[in-house]
Each structure stands twice: as structure tokens, then as C-alpha cells.
Amino acid sequence: MTLAIVTGVAGFIGSNLAEALLKQGDTVIGIDNFNNYYNPRFKYHNVNALKEYPKFKLLEAEIEQVDWKTLLVDVEVIYHQAAQAGVRASWGESFRYYTERNINATQVLLEAAKNSPSLLRFIYASTSSIYGNAETFPTGETIAPQPISPYGITKLAAERLCLLYLQNFAVPIVALRYFSVYGPRQRPDMAFHKFFKAAITKKSISIYGDGQQTRDFTYVADIVAANLLAASHPDAVGEILNIGGGSRVFLSEVISQIEAIICTTLTKEYLEKARGDARHTAADISKAKNILGYAPQFSLIEGLTREWEWIKQLY
């Protein structure tokens, strides 16, 4: 069994990943600072599910404050999921949180990782936001990154730092570029969570733009599966891999599917397009398929239904 660290363990993806690791018998040290970017009660709710496992240890701290030399003894895999999330919030005065939590924290973790003799894999959670308005669809990893948000810039900078530590110190890096993740434990500021909650509270939903933007929506269990593959496959080290859901869908189509699931017509309020939002995203996942054997298992309708069941329990 593996000893793993999951940063951002109380978050949407981190908590799902940690639970999958614990279920397969691994020991997990989870790190989270429980910041107030969104209501921390959601994070504590996520972590409570993990505390049921005897092989889980929680460390509530900033990454920069951790005694990494001591903590990394015998650790074999680092899943670096922690980040300051959110495209729209990354403008203005809050940008410093993005540089601190996305770039500085990653550099601190890489510095510690370069001196760890037991470390077999360092998996960095990257994002499709680094592509911006990509030149081609579906978008492959060789397309030049052109981020159009401050958030995307900080995530790309951290990804490049990872590659530097691979090249100079042989840190066994794998970078996974996630595309529009959804599912149970999704953050309350994310679209599907807000849409489902609006159905329960009988409020209108806000749509930025005309609803004709497209996304490659990826169910969280497929993201988790990609992480597990990246941690175990010998050919993954040094690779940057797109992790998508396998299909590009109009936002308006997704809303129609949500309405069918909840048996309710949502009241829509159309707002001006948000700064930093890409018009379209679509992942070419052939590289992840070839190297990892990755293949998304969950259809959009199945994933949305599972998120709806979770939302109903939450509210």
C-alpha cells in the first residue's frame, strides 16, 4: 500500500481523490488551509467523510508553513490539488492570493520534493484554462498555451515550474490538465452546483454570455481515475496530459439536460460575458489514452444525475 499526500484535501477534487485512495487501502496525509474563498463549512463536510478512515491524517496548514522534510519521510506520491481557484475572481486585488497559493506554494512543495528519496510521483493538477481561446478543437497538449485570465497564468506558471524541477532535479512530475470538472462535492461557486441549488430554492440562474459557449465537461470520478493511473503508470513521468470528459457540449444543452433531470424549467438571467472565460474548450485526450489507458467512463447525463442526488442531500 502507498503513503500519499493530497494537498487541497478538503476541496472538491482533493476530497474525492483522497477517499478513492483510502478505499484502495492507501495511507493518506491530507493538507488544507480551509480558506474562505467559499464557505469553509463545505470543506469541513468533505473532510468529515474522510475522517471515518483510520489511515487518514489531516493537517490544517498553509503549504508554506509545513515542515516538509519531516512530513515527506517515506511518502511515495504527492497529489498536488491545492490551488486558488476561480477565473472570475482572479482579477484585481485578489490576484495576490493566486500568486501565493498557485505559484509560491507549488515552488515550496517542489523544493521539498527534490530532496525526497522515497518520492515516486508528483502529480500536479493543471487546468484547461492555460489554453485560453485555443487555436484548434479538440485541443492537444502541443498547442501553445494562451491563458486569458490571471488564474490561467498562475496555473501555467506553476506547471512550468514543475517541468523545471523535473529537468534540473529529476522530480518525477506528471501534469494533468483538467477540463471543466463536475460531480458530487462540487464547489458552491461552480455553475452546476448553482443551477441545482437554484432549482431547490426556486431562484433564477445566471448565464454569462449567450449560452452557446461549449465545454468539455469531465465527471470527477474520471478525474480521480486519471490521477490513479498517472501515479502508477511508469511511462507517465515527465508528461503533460489533457484529462477531459470525451465530448464537447453547448452550455444551453447542459441546462436542458439539468431541467430534464430535475423535472423543472429553470428561470434564466443572461449576463454579460465574464472576463477571462474561454468561449470554447475541448480536450484531445488521445495522449492520455495512449500513455495511461485513460478513458472517461461517465456520460454527462449520468454524472449530472449523481450530482443532483448529492445536492438534494446537501440542501
Instruction: Classify residue 280 by its DSSP letter.
Output: B
% of the chain beyond a pLDDT of 70: 100
Closest CA to 155 of 71, 261, 80: 80
- CA 20, 22, 27, 30 torsion: positive or negative? positive
Which of the residues in the chain have pLDDT under 70?
A: none
Q: Which is catalytic among the residues 37, 98, 151, 219?
A: 151
Closest CA to 43 of 86, 18, 11, 6: 11
Per-residue model confidence as pLDDT tens digits over 144-179: 999 999 999 999 999 999 999 999 999 999 999 999
Q: Is 165 a catalytic residue?
A: no
As a whole number of angstroms, the distance between CA 209 and CA 15 comes to: 31
As a whole number of angstroms, the distance between CA 260 and CA 254 comes to: 10
Output the DSSP codes for 117-157: TT--EEEEEEEGGGTSS-SSSSBPTTSPP---SHHHHHHHH
| In contact, 4 and 76? CB cutoff 8 Å | yes
Q: Which pLDDT score is estimated for 247?
A: 87
Go through the chain and tell me how many residues it has: 315
Q: Which pLDDT score is estimated for 1?
A: 87
Coil, strand, or helix at residue 72? coil
Exposure string (b/e) for 95-111, b if CB count within 10 Å is 16 or more? bebbbebbbbbbbbbbe
Q: Which domains are seen in the chain, by residue range?
A: 3-182+219-246+282-298 (3.40.50.720)
- Nearest-10 crossing angle of helices 150-169, 105-113: 10
Q: Which pLDDT score is estimated for 13?
A: 98
Coil, strand, or helix at residue 180? coil
**Predicted TM-score (pTM) of this structure:** 0.98
Q: In the numeric block, which cell numbers belong to residue 75?
A: 511518502
